[in-house]
Each structure stands twice: as C-alpha cells, then as structure tokens.
Structure 1
C-alpha cells in the first residue's frame, strides 16, 4: 500500500485584525519527508496516530509538505497563493516521483480562512482529487472546531474529525482515519455506500460551551459514541465548529460514515438532543465583574480561572489585561499567563534580572475601548530568556511550544495580591503546566491560577484545582478577541476573509421553534 500524506493546518478567526502569512507557518513547521517524520511523528497528535498505524500495516508512506500555523487571523491572499502553490507542487512531485498512490491522507483543520477565498479547504481537497485522479482513496482529518463545506466531503472518501475538547483524542482519531481508508481500499461498494455524510445543525455554540469534559457538549459526545456502536456506523462525530466566521459553514455539525439510513438516524438523534440542550449550550459566560466576586469568596485551596475571551488558541491576541487587572487588585497569591506583549519583554530585557519595570495592562478586544489603559504596576524582573517548552500533560503530549523571547515578572498589588506573570513575544496558549514549570514558577500553594485558555487547559490543570467549596475550575470572559459573546462580531464587524454573511437561520441569531429546527436539518443534502 502506497500512501501520500500531507498537512496544512490553521484555525482562523475571521474578525481579529491580526492576519497571518507564510512566515507564521514557517515559524511553527514547514517540513516534508524524513524531517516531517522526525518532527511530527512523536507525542499524541494527528500525525503520530496516523503514521504509527500506517507503519504497523507495512505501508510505504511518502510525506509531502506538512505545515501549520498557530491560531490567528485570516491568511493574506498573496501568502496563501504562495503556500497553496508549494503544497500542490509537493503533491505533483510526489505523484511523479513516488506514485501512483493507493491512498492520500490530508491532515487539515477545517476552519481555515483566506482573504478572498470562499471555502479554501474544500478547494484544497478538490484540487488534490483532480491531481491524483479517481482511483486513490482520499481520507481527510479535521479538527473538532471544523467548519465544513459540501465540496470537501464530496471530494473525499472518508472524513474524520476530532471528538474531544480538550483535544486529547487526536492520535486515536488519526489512527481511526487510517483504518477506515484501508478498509475502503479494494472495496468499491463500501467506498460509495459507506461514504462520509455531513449535516449542519442550525446552532452556533460559543467556544467555552463546547468542552467535552462535562456539561452539555459532553452529553452530545457521549451520545454520538453510543449511537456509533448501536447503529453499526464506521464513525460518528458531533463537532463544535469554529464560531468566529461569518458564513453558513460556521456551526455545530455531524459527520457520519456508514450506511445512509443509519447515518441519517444518528443525525436525527443527535439533533434532537442538541435541541433539548440548546439553552445550556448557549448560556452566557461570566465576565470580569463576576471574577471580582470569585476573588472575594471565602474558601481555601487553588482556584483555576481561564480567560476564554483572550485565548490565543481561538484567535485572541493574548494581551487583554481585563481579568489580570482584577487579580492584581485583589488580595490573592497568584500565577498568571501567558500575557503576549513584546514591548514588556523588551523592557524586562533592558532592565535585567532583579530590575524593575512599569507593567502596563490594556484592553485588547472588539469595541470602542480597545487599547484603553487599565493600569500600570511596578514589576520586578525574575527571568528573561527563550520561552520554549514541551508539553508533558495529556493535551498534545510532547509538542514543543515556542513563545519567542519571554520574561517572568513578580508583582505585588496594592491590596496584598502577589504573584508571577508569564510574558511572551509570540502567541502561545498555556494549556500545559509546563508553561509555568519550565519558567521555574511553582503552582502549589497559590490562591489563583489565571490562564488564557478556553478548554484545553482542563486536561492538565485539573490536579491543581483544589478550591473549596468549589467549583475549583471556572471560566470567565474578559472581552478580548476570543470572547464567546458572538454578538460582538456577527453582523457588527466585517469578516477579514470577505465572507458576505449568513443566509441560513441558526441559533442564537434567529428565533427557531422545534418544527423549524427539524426542517432545517431535513433540508440538508445528506438527509435527502
């Protein structure tokens, strides 16, 4: 079995002003062949799971261009032209020098946004199909936060998405993709009759409500796993989608592989459950005012608080200071990070270890108060240097994160607050405790750990969360560019990719009753 495998992975927030380019992809990784295997085939990621399964099957694997970018804004048009040209050149070269291939595996994200492109990932898969022809089985891997268009599913044979948020299942899902592709090889009947079907739900869920550790989306994920077994499906996933986009693909949806009738039965069951859970799925997130109350609560232990509104992993800029300012005005011992501010890092480098700087906090989010000054605190520089670490927890185990030049500051607030703040030059999400431990910041004995994350942090920080009477893990919205309050974007700000807006009714932007909800689902092409 000869297999071609490529990756192009970017989660794009189509409202944030910070666009990305080829250099952002090169900064994370831009590799092929043996270099791609050495860099990406370790840990618990999509590539590692897929390659391990292919190797066990004795497949001859050729790794084409594999590249990814940290979550950010839309890709600039010229940069994407260069990036996609390099990707397609890798496909053409592989087919010419190593083909023909029995299967092609494409590791994508599903929420790529490009200036001037309506559905770039569908176009990628369609272009690959044109290049390799009808014979090879094409399998596509997508992130849990994928926004899927019909062109992608039609051009592929098998589409598999992540089912967990935090994304602790991606190696397993990469292995599942390979097994399904191998099953399709030589079985033309199964290839068409058991193809992947995709159905959009008329529901846009805020990022923080998609987590599958507990709560309503966890119930949906568990139902999908049970239905997969009960109905004899090859694969079934309900995915959250990525809400920071202004088109009809940005919504929760279902991917089902197997017999048509069973797939449709599964969709109806999941849609019915989603309707019953809709109020909990759309419940507003606490803001900075409630954080102030939390910080004044009597209790003991460590409270872990996530600032979902400034999550760099969802397109946030990582430099909104709203929640950190509340912590600094409290009486709590804390550790906070990662604040993204190259200016502060430069000041710390100039001052040197044990020097003092003025640490400014500003707003950084949609609205008229963007860049408003929140305060200036005197900070002592504890450490300055490279901010690089490798994850050791269950989320993306073994992956290296690079925040560029960084620093650790020690700050004492006016009311008795004291603690360390991690600051980096490049956007990274501190979903692993190594973000702190690698910088020699201990997490025991604290009152508060403040993180810029939405859900990924839960897998690693749960043991740190000991606050009694509880809950010991809480999420608040500081109002940054990753705010789950979607009404701050949709219909208010122009999408940087040029999307023209929604034409299909969805909750929470339109009023739907259960009859209209069901009609919208039954009107989907794969429900016909």
Structure 2
C-alpha cells in the first residue's frame, strides 16, 4: 500500500508599493498557525473532496496583510525563519503549497518571494514539489520560476476566484505527486507594466486574454495556464508581465506559453482604464452636475493614487481638500462621503466625545505628507464604530460631507463598513473612496463612476513615478521596441 503524502502549507502574502512611504510592520499582518491555518481552507474541512483525502497537511505559518509599503525586514525574517524551522521539524515532506501574493517587497531585497522559495528549496532538497498560488498582480521572477514546480494565479480582476485559485494550486500539486512525474514548465516574460485598473477582466482585452485559459488548460498534456499582469508600483527588475504554463508534455506547455505571451503582447495598445478618468477637480465637476439625475446617484469617484488596496499610505489628503473646496459640499446641498483616512491619533482625540459634539481635529498627512498635508476638520462627531479591518473608526460631519477616519489602514470596499458608521451608500449623492476599480459591491451600488488620477504611492499615471530599476524597455514607459518573447522551459 503506498504511503500517504505529506504536504506543508504556509506563506507570506502582501502587495508592496516601493513608492509608498508606509512601512509594513508585523502589526499590519494577520498571522495564522497550526489548526487555525488549516481551517482557512474549505477543502481541508471535515468533509474533504476526494483529491484532498488521505494526505497529511502540515501547517507552517501564514502571514497576510492589506497591501502597503515595503515590509520591515525584521518581520519578514521572523516569518521566513519560522517557515523554515517548522519545515525542519516536520521531517520528510512530499510537497509544499506556498500561499503568497507575489508582489511583496522587503527592505533591502529585490525579490522577496524568490528569496523565500530559494531558502525553502535549500532546506527540503530537490525532490519535493513546490506549488505556488498567487495574485495575478504578482511577479514571476526567474528565481521564483526555477524554485517552483507549479505556479498558478487568479483569473479575475476584481479578484473573485481567490479561494478557487488556492484550491487549484493544491489540487495540481497532489495530482502531480500521485502521478510521480515532475511537471514540465514554460515561462514567457512579457515586457508590459500596467496598473490593475487598466487590466480588469470585466472588459477587453484582459477579459479575452483570460478567457483563453480554459481552452488551453483543456489541451492534452497541459496542467495549468496562468497570466500575471505584474505589479506596476514596485521599482524592481522582476516587475513585468509573465505567462507560465505547466504540463505533463513539454512541447504542449511550451507551445501554449508562446501563444499566450504573443496574445498578451499583441493586445498592449488596447489596454485602457476600466472607467473614465480625470483629475480630482475634473471628476468633481462631472459628479456635481451628474447627481441632479437620480439614476446617476450615488456617484462614485475613486481616489486611486492613495488606494490602500494596492499599497497606498491611506492618508493622503489631496482628494479630501478638493472636496472641501466645493461650496455644494460645504453648505450641505450635496450629501457626500469620504472614505477614508487612517489616523489613529485623530480617532483617539474625538471618539470618546458624545455623538453630536462639535469637534476640531487635524487628520491625515502623517504617513504620506505630500501636499496639502494634514487638514483641519471643523465639524460634528457623527458616529463611532468598531470595524474588523479598520479598528476604532469615527465619522466627522463637515457640512454635507461625512469624513471617515480609521485607526488602522483599510479599504472601504464593502457596504457593511459604511453602514457601521451610519451611512447607507445608496442614499448618498457622492462617495469618494480610496480604491482603484470598484470592488463588486460598490460597482453594483454605483449610479455612475469616475477614476480620479490622484497623487499617491500607487499613482495610476506611471509616467509620474521615478522608476530606476525596472528592466527597460517596457511598455508603456517605452513604446517603439520589439519584445523578446522567448519561451524558457524547464
């Protein structure tokens, strides 16, 4: 009777902007270990699917944070050491499932995930298989590709297939181990660097690009096909598009990777923002006029340059200042929400006062002090609530504007977070939110929507960012060049 398989699970999951002044520390991460780590995965519940049965799953450690700035090396070193120590304690393993993002940046390192997989491989040796589940906004460096036997990533943006992707990575690993055949793999680096807001799978050409994956995956000899958009807000050589195909047949994997790489590159001029764009003032001009039409309310504006969901500091006050300059908002004739600014000091200053109290408080600009820096709010304490993501939060009402201030960085992507502070988004004229493309609940709630090209650590206008280390040429920073779409096979 064949022995049962032993598979270890762990990882460090964060998307890091090297252009953001925020430093991601251990306090920003949610960490799971032991049974709590295994409980994250539905396919490891008491009723397991057949492919997941008769396997000993070995929990390592998993650390996950909201996207932010580069990671404190002390935090990274502690978790990577714990992963390695637990692997050493575990003894023999047949495989490792890495649950990672792929765009983690650590102070002093250019390829954090590559470093992690190299350390794991050095410990477990060449025989066990490693499978990585990743975000499509991650990066596939040559080092990561060499260290892993299987790689896969999300196929939707906004990401509605996160858990499906993790299960696929695990299932592919189990299947490969049971076949006893190390997969063939093929990589194409595509010299494209695009913000996620230009590559939503809701629209072409990304929709068509990812729609090709099921057909390719169904081919004889192919296990998995994956397309990484890459991460635009890190200045590192690994940051660019990538295609990886794994298979039981080397020729089939190589052919499929070449096809997807060519498709990705040939579509480069078709990528456009998922919504109409403009400066913050241009977007406000449109919104103020538009809300006279009830069908266009609530009108959403994305404060995209400081989006914490991509790594922004979450306290740039530029968009808020432009809102407060509007007389229709100041006099209350237009009902609006600004979500949000992280400022635990401001929350502590006002949150214990009685609701309805007049408050004067300076907010924002403590992490990312770019103009205009901290702003003074003279208003009324409207609501206080505890949010699972943002900690203690307060809403300060200034004229017709509710300004949300949080104790922890968070993204107001779910309607329940607004409701905790007494706001029904559908009753508002205008909602300005630090986000890029609208996540599903907001997208469904919006009467209309614009993407404001605001300043911040995840500026959508890539030409305004001071790149020094990305490999050039790369589209769209460079346009007149022939791409090297060489397929690398292993």
Could you say whether these structures have the same fold, taking a TM-score greater than 0.5 normalized by the shorter chain as the test?
A: yes
1:509 aligned counterpart, secondary structure: coil
Paired residue for 2:97, among 96, 105, 114? 105
- Alpha-carbon distance between aligned partners in 2 of 1:473 and 1:57, rounded to the nearest angstrom: 46
Q: Is the 8 A contact 1:382 1:410 kept in 2?
A: yes
Report the CA distance between 1:205 and its aligned residue: 0.5
- Alpha-carbon distance between aligned partners in 2 of 1:306 and 1:128, rounded to the nearest angstrom: 40
- Output one character per residue of 1:170-208: Cα deviation in whole Å (capped at 9) or x when no partner: 11111111221122114344x2xx433322111101231
Aligned to 1:21: 25
* TM-score, scaled relative to structure 2: 0.88
Q: Is the 8 A contact 2:339 2:403 kept in 1?
A: yes
Q: Is the 8 A contact 2:186 2:488 kept in 1?
A: no
Aligned to 1:182: 174
- Alpha-carbon distance between aligned partners in 2 of 1:310 and 1:218, rounded to the nearest angstrom: 26
Q: Is the 8 A contact 1:14 1:73 kept in 2?
A: yes
The answer to whether structure 1 residue 439 and structure 2 residue 382 are counterparts is no
- Alpha-carbon distance between aligned partners in 1 of 2:250 and 2:191, rounded to the nearest angstrom: 21
**Distance verdict in 2 for CA 1:52–1:429, change over 3 Å:** farther
Q: How does 1:449-460 map to 2 (within 5 A)?
A: 449-455=431-437, 457-460=438-441
2:460 aligned counterpart, secondary structure: coil
Aligned to 1:73: 69
* TM-score, scaled relative to structure 1: 0.82
2:390 aligned counterpart, secondary structure: strand
Report the CA distance between 1:447 and its aligned residue: 1.6
Report the CA distance between 1:106 and its aligned residue: 1.3
Q: CA RMSD in A?
A: 2.8
- Alpha-carbon distance between aligned partners in 2 of 1:244 and 1:54, rounded to the nearest angstrom: 41
**Distance verdict in 2 for CA 1:483–1:285, change over 3 Å:** farther
Q: How does 1:89-488 map to 2 (within 5 A)?
A: 89-95=85-91, 100-189=92-181, 191=182, 194-229=183-218, 233-258=222-247, 259-281=249-271, 285-298=277-290, 299-300=293-294, 301-328=297-324, 329=326, 330-331=328-329, 332-349=334-351, 351-358=353-360, 360=362, 370-373=370-373, 376-388=376-388, 402-412=389-399, 418-455=400-437, 457-465=438-446, 467=447, 472-488=448-464
Report the CA distance between 1:230 and its aligned residue: 5.4
Report the CA distance between 1:112 and its aligned residue: 1.4
- Runs of 5+ consecutive residues of structure 1 not aligned to the other structure: 389-401, 413-417, 492-499
Q: Is the 8 A contact 1:304 1:464 kept in 2?
A: no
Q: Is the 8 A contact 1:436 1:443 kept in 2?
A: yes
Report the CA distance between 1:429 and its aligned residue: 1.3
The answer to whether structure 1 residue 507 and structure 2 residue 475 are counterparts is yes
1:343 aligned counterpart, secondary structure: helix
Q: Is the 8 A contact 2:349 2:361 kept in 1?
A: no
Q: Is the 8 A contact 2:315 2:366 kept in 1?
A: yes
Q: Is the 8 A contact 1:73 1:315 kept in 2?
A: yes
Paired residue for 2:15, among 3, 11, 22? 11
- Output one character per residue of 1:385-405: Cα deviation in whole Å (capped at 9) or x when no partner: 4222xxxxxxxxxxxxx2122
- Output one character per residue of 1:384-433: Cα deviation in whole Å (capped at 9) or x when no partner: 24222xxxxxxxxxxxxx21221122221xxxxx2423210211112221
- Alpha-carbon distance between aligned partners in 1 of 2:48 and 2:241, rounded to the nearest angstrom: 30
- Alpha-carbon distance between aligned partners in 2 of 1:230 and 1:372, rounded to the nearest angstrom: 55
Structure 1 range deviating more: 207-216 or 157-166: 207-216
1:347 aligned counterpart, secondary structure: helix
Report the CA distance between 1:159 and its aligned residue: 1.0
Moved over 6 A (4+): 361-366
- Alpha-carbon distance between aligned partners in 2 of 1:53 and 1:506, rounded to the nearest angstrom: 43
- Alpha-carbon distance between aligned partners in 1 of 2:444 and 2:412, rounded to the nearest angstrom: 15
Report the CA distance between 1:281 and its aligned residue: 2.1
**Distance verdict in 2 for CA 1:375–1:63, change over 3 Å:** closer
- Alpha-carbon distance between aligned partners in 1 of 2:241 and 2:322, rounded to the nearest angstrom: 33
